[in-house]
């Protein structure tokens, strides 16, 4: 859709609401793309999808402190703001909302959102409190912008599953659009944290994608032993001294419960530390009836 108007950048919730209200009064379809900045081609693919299907697109850039745990990279997380704004303008975004932390979490802030079950497994087990921060900030974003559609990437599989569950459970009037993972030519999933990898680590990181491909191949060949496939994934990751796996599991794509036997639809999920950088990836596995 036409996005030819000039980009507006604001830190004010009131200015954001006023702009969205005006656009909606003109019958425009509102889209939003939540990000923490450091925009790469994966983010841009979400933005393009939003611009193509909505009239007024808001990109949220906010490095959310409540989803970072102790010892994680909150302070060093990349923040190339000027470059991000240029990319948003070039893509046809109408407004970028960049609130300071004190606007989102004022003194005395004490209200949190938790999605039971999904928050506590896999990434939630490895990063306690992470998904409480994610669910809270996404609900705040949806309340502030009240978009018709919010766009998320498939790479953060557990995150988008949790967000869809929250939206369903709380009857939020928003469509959650999930866009495909964008990968480098060798298959590595694009991530802002890839910038932390040195050349040797970057070369090793491809093993995450290879392990996912390995799982897909094994099940298509007729493998019935899920535990054995998971061990093979872990073994492939451990084939590099630079990689320390956290988990490599086969799960139900909706509940994320780990499977003990194959089913027609599954998701392979991986988290590993490559050097000092923690990366995640996933792949849906859909088997044809035998």
> Three-state SS string across the chain, please?
CCCCCCCEEECCHHHHHHHHHHHHHCCCCEEEEEECCCCCHHHHHHHHHHHHHCCEEEEEECCCHHHCCCCCCCCCCCCCHHHHHHHHHHHCCCEEECCCHHHHCCCCCCCCCCCCCCCCCCHHHHCCCHHHHHHHHHHHHHHHHCCCEEEEECCCHHHHHHHHHHHHHCCCCCEEEEECCCECCCCCECCHHHHHCCHHHHHHHHHHHHHHHHHHHHHHCCCCCHHHHHHHHHHHHCCCCCEEEEEEEEECCCCCCECCCCCCEEEEEEEEEECCEEEEEEEEEECCCC
Q: Is 43 a catalytic residue?
A: yes
Protein fold of 8-179? Rossmann fold (3.40.50)
Q: Which of the following is catalytic: 40, 43, 130, 236?
A: 43
Structure tokens at 148: 């018709």
Annotated domain spans of the chain: 8-179, 192-279
C-alpha span between 84 and 62 (Å, rounded)? 12
Roughly how many angstroms between the first and final C-alpha of the chain, as a whole number?
43
For 231-283, the pLDDT digits (tens) are 999 999 999 999 999 999 999 999 999 999 999 999 999 999 999 999 999 99
The architecture in CATH of the region 192-279 reads 2-Layer Sandwich (3.30)
Give pLDDT, residue 270. 98
Give pLDDT, residue 42. 94
Residue 43 sits at φ, ψ, to 5 deg, of: -60, -45
Q: Minimal CA–CA distance to 191: which of 95, 99, 73?
A: 73
C-alpha span between 180 and 28 (Å, rounded)? 25
Burial level of 168, CB count in 10 A (0-12/13-18/19+)? exposed
CA dihedral for 241, 247, 249, 254, sign (positive or negative): negative
Give pLDDT, residue 2. 47
Tell me which residues of the chain have a pLDDT lower than 70. Answer: 1-4, 290
Give pLDDT, residue 1. 52
């Amino acid at each position: 859709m036409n996005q030819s108007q000039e980009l507006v950048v604001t830190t004010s919730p009131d200015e954001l609401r006023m702009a969205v209200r005006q656009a909606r009064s003109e019958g425009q379809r509102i889209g939003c793309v939540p990000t923490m900045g450091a925009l790469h081609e994966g983010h841009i693919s979400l933005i393009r999808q939003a611009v193509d299907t909505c009239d007024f697109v808001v990109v949220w850039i906010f490095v959310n402190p409540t989803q970072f745990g102790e010892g994680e990279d909150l302070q060093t997380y990349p923040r190339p703001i000027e470059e991000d704004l240029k990319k948003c303008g070039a893509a046809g975004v109408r407004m970028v909302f960049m609130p300071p932390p004190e606007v989102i979490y004022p003194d005395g802030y004490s209200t949190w959102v938790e999605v039971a079950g999904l928050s506590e497994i896999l990434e939630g087990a490895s990063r306690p409190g992470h998904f409480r921060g994610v669910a809270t900030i996404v609900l705040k974003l949806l309340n502030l912008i009240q978009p018709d559609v919010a766009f998320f990437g498939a790479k953060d599989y557990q995150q988008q599953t949790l967000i869809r569950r929250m939206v369903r459970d709380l009857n939020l009037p928003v469509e959650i659009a999930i866009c495909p993972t964008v990968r480098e030519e060798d298959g590595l999933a694009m991530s802002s944290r890839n910038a932390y990898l040195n050349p040797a680590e970057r070369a090793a990181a491809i093993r995450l994608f290879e392990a996912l491909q390995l799982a897909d191949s094994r099940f298509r060949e007729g493998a019935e032993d899920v535990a054995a496939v998971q061990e093979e994934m872990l073994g492939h990751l451990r084939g590099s001294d630079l990689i320390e796996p956290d988990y490599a599991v086969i799960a139900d794509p909706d509940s994320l419960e780990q499977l003990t036997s194959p089913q027609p639809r599954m998701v392979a999920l991986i988290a590993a530390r490559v050097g000092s950088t923690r990366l995640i990836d996933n792949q849906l596995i859909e088997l044809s009836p035998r």
